Amino acid sequence: MHTTTKYAATALAAALGVTALAGCGSSDDDTSGSGASKGSKTVTLVSHDSFNASPDVLKEFTKQTGYTVKVLKSGDAGAALNQEILTKGSPRGDVFFGVDNTLLSRALDQGLFTPYEAKGLDAVAADTRLDAEHRVTPVDTGDICVNYDKKYFADKKLDPPNSFADLLKPAYKNLLVTENAATSSPGLGFLLGTIADSGEDGYQDYWKKLKANGVKVVDGWEQAYNEEFSGSAGGKKANADRPLVVSYASSPPVEVYYADPQPTEAPTGVATATCFRQIEFAGLLDGAKNQAGGKALLDFLISKTFQEDMPLQMFVDPVVEGTKLPEVYTKFGATVDKPFTVDPAKIAANREQWVQAWSSIAVK
């Protein structure tokens, strides 16, 4: 149902002509798509398509543990989760990565995971540890925010918007493109941000006003960012005409990192008062054939080695406090001090009706 949480960064890299490194290994012990057999030195990670890690980092895991990581990518986050629900109790792998706080309660209610308290969990930010039973381990965070085309607003001598309220102003009429909340993770995150800001009693009125102010809704992030948004490399090639888009706080560093030559300033900015916080988790799958390897992998996902590798592989924020971040990531990325959040239990109880109500307003 939803696009993967960090499909945005990976797809942006592709749009800029870069092939991302595949975060996967192989082993003579096990070449099938299923979890490793008992005693196997292969541990299978089931994930959405955007999982990425440096080959040297995965080799370090093998060096430390003796296990080789095999990554089984399964489409977007929602599709990957659906497949695990269908194979519950007889999973295709040992660890699942990529369920986020918008879908977490669904995964937990289905009983997909075996509780395991990962080593090093005490160093993980407390506000990301949403499951007291340790069925899942937080791995990364990211913020869904409105991005803007700096050149457009400079040329128009117009200040870019910074808040949800700003987006309703006549000055920004017909400038914003967002993703469908029923088909896109960024779209759903943006909807949840407006609910957190306007309240359950006020978000529908907000969206009616946003619709009247010319917001454009497209199916997914790639279309919104690379075809409709004038500030992206892909958008420039497509002669896009919308200078506001729902994307990520980490999108500006991606634009810089993959550009050749790299600019001294990011071409895009972030409206930091429109950001909704996503948290991604990993868990040991119930029925995993290689539980020992799965537990070792969960430990590794919150290790210094893996956490320091993530920002320039998946363009997400580490959850381990004090993790060193690359200069290009900190220099060009936006700092979001007070992101909007919604309790996962509330999301679970209301997600479908919220999306249905939103659809009747925004896409009718």
Contacts of 162 (CB under 8 A, 6+ apart): 271, 272, 273, 274
pLDDT of res. 38: 53
DSSP structural state of residue 228: I
> How are beta strands 268-285 and 113-114 bridged, if at all?
antiparallel
pLDDT bin (cut points 50, 70, 90) of residue 182 is confident
Q: How confident is the model at residue 242 (pLDDT cuts 50, 70, 90)?
A: very high
Residues 6+ apart with CB under 8 A from 267: 149, 150, 151, 231, 252, 255
| pLDDT value at 194 more than 50 | yes
Residues present in the chain in total = 364
| Average per-residue pLDDT for the chain | 89
Q: For 356, how many CA atoms within 13 A lie in the half-sphere containing its CB?
A: 4
Cβ(244)–Cβ(205) below 8 Å? no
The percent of residues above 70 in pLDDT, for the chain, comes to 89
End-to-end CA distance of the chain: 19
Report the alpha-carbon angle 348-353-354, nearest 5.
85
- Name the pTM for this structure: 0.83
Q: What is the reported pLDDT for 105?
A: 87
Return the ∠ at Cα 343 (arms to 138 and 206), rounded to 5°.
125
Query: What pLDDT shows up at residue 19?
Result: 33
Determine contact, residues 153/243, Cβ cutoff 8 Å.
yes
Q: Name, in order, each residue with C-beta under 8 angstroms of 331's C-beta and a sequence gap of 6 or more.
A: 253
Section 281-291 average pLDDT: 97
Task: Tell me the average pLDDT across 169-177.
Answer: 98
Q: What is the pLDDT of residue 167?
A: 98
Residue 228 pLDDT > 90: yes
| Res. 23: pLDDT tops 50 | no
Main-chain dihedrals φ then ψ at residue 326, nearest 5 degrees: -65, 150
Looking up tokens 């096990």 gives 30
At position 284, the amino acid (one-letter code) is L
Q: What is the per-residue pLDDT across 25-45, written as a single tens digit (0 to 9) for each?
A: 433 344 334 444 456 799 999
* pLDDT tens digits along 295-328: 999 999 999 999 999 999 999 999 999 999 999 9
